[in-house]
Amino acid sequence: MAYTDIDKPSDYFETVIYSGNGSTQSISSLDFQPDWTWIKARSGGTQSNNLYDSVRGATKYLRSDGTGAEGTQANGLTSFDSDGFSMGADNGNNGSGYTYASWNWKAGTSFTNDASSTGVGSIDSAGSANTDAGFSIVSWTGDGNTSGTIKHGLSTKPSMIISKNRDSAENWFCYHKSLGATKYIRLNIVNAAGSATSIWNDTEPTTSVFTVGNDTAVNSNNVKYIAYCFAEKQGYSKFGSYIGNGNADSTFIYTGFSPAWVMIKRTTASSYNWMIFDNKRNTFNVINNRLLANTSGAEITGSSTHILDFVSNGFKIRSSNSAIGGGADPYIYMAFAEAPFVSSTGVPATAR
């Protein structure tokens, strides 16, 4: 059995940190042309999480910390380039003297699906997919029916789906395999997971489609939507859950790789943020710099209550705080690799 599907994760995902210049700037350090770029200011006061993708087109943003419809910013992210992306002077992406984190994923193969012709799904879709890395971006226009099925472009069942109504003020709705299709959780707010047939129609995704109900957040007639779909790939990505143990020597989560990026959310009770950690803002353990997907606040650093270690085969929670490691508290996570635990040729990863 292969140890990993991907020996070089930075061909498909990478974090880049940079400083803004208040003018125009190109970030050109990636090994690929990104299709999804998520930018968050680390300093400079309150600046929203700006999400861009190649399917909707450069300059068109969505904000994970709000409900707003898609907007266009001519001075935002202006192009996706062969080795990164270019920006104008917008403070949310490139303010003078501000520091930023950008998280970048590669999809890359365009597709369109006429559902009535192909027999795949019931709603037409289009997007960009990377079956090797298990990532696709999918756009569709709702039909308002009680339920509908949409081609996701992956050859395996998605483990996580992040979706947004592009035309109207709506919450971000997420499917996560550890919660199942009878539940949803919202990326832009701190609330616990909820239940509603009208979101995922209580139907698990398949290897070809995912299902939506008739909620305006996912399937209103003649409304445009976007979804980011992720299928787990051994040695590269992992989507799962864990239970905290309530002390500082808390849970170890096995991923099969040394993480480059981890996002964590407690799924019960309200007031718990979506916390994002990466290997570029903290280059050695412990990992304590965090940005929040659901708020516009600056980077939080230096606290001993929300910390973890990245290790060669997973991550280790180092806090008893109920936002990340509380006793018997359940959490979901999504994680991407810096390096597989063991390469396809049997070479083990080294510890940080």
pLDDT tens across 277-325, in order? 999 999 999 999 999 999 999 999 988 888 999 999 999 999 999 999 9
Q: H or E segment at 77?
A: strand 77-81
DSSP state of 180: -
Question: Is residue 15 domain-shared with residue 79, that is, in the same domain?
Answer: yes
Residues 329/251, Cβ–Cβ less than 8 Å: no
Q: How far is CA 114 from CA 123, 222, 351, in A?
A: 8, 16, 48
To the nearest whole percent, how much of the chain has pLDDT over 70? 97
Looking at 190, 212, 230, the residue that finishes a domain is: 230
Phi and psi (nearest 5°) for 94? -160, 40
Contacts of 98 (CB under 8 A, 6+ apart): 19, 20, 41, 42, 43, 44, 47, 91
CATH number at residue 86: 2.60.320
Residues 337/236, Cβ–Cβ less than 8 Å: yes
The pLDDT value given to residue 306: 86
3 domain residue, yes or no: no
Residue 349 pLDDT greater than 70, yes or no: no
Residue bearing the bigger pLDDT, 222 or 5: 222
Question: Is residue 120 domain-shared with residue 226, that is, in the same domain?
Answer: yes
Mapped onto helix, strand or coil, the DSSP state of residue 89 is: coil
Looking at 63, 89, 105, the residue that finishes a domain is: 105
The pLDDT mean for the chain works out to: 95
Total domains in the chain come to 3
Q: How confident is the model at residue 139 (pLDDT cuts 50, 70, 90)?
A: very high
pLDDT tens across 232-266, in order? 999 999 999 999 999 988 999 999 999 999 999 99
Q: What is the mean pLDDT of residues 125-153?
A: 98
Residue 197 pLDDT greater than 80, yes or no: yes
Residue 348 pLDDT greater than 70, yes or no: no
Question: Is residue 336 domain-shared with residue 245, that is, in the same domain?
Answer: yes
Residue 125, domain extent:
112-230
Question: Is residue 68 domain-shared with residue 172, that is, in the same domain?
Answer: no
Q: How far is CA 211 from CA 175, 224, 235, in A?
A: 11, 16, 28
Question: Is residue 120 domain-shared with residue 215, that is, in the same domain?
Answer: yes
Q: How far apart are CA 290 and CA 286, in angstroms?
A: 12
Q: How far apart are CA 57 and CA 35, in angstroms?
A: 9
DSSP state of 289: -
128 domain residue, yes or no: yes
The pLDDT value given to residue 304: 82
Residue 346 pLDDT greater than 90, yes or no: no
Question: Is residue 247 domain-shared with residue 226, that is, in the same domain?
Answer: no
**Stretch among 60-64, 234-238, 324-328, 339-343 having the lowest mean pLDDT:** 339-343
pTM (2 d.p.): 0.96
Q: How confident is the model at residue 5 (pLDDT cuts 50, 70, 90)?
A: confident
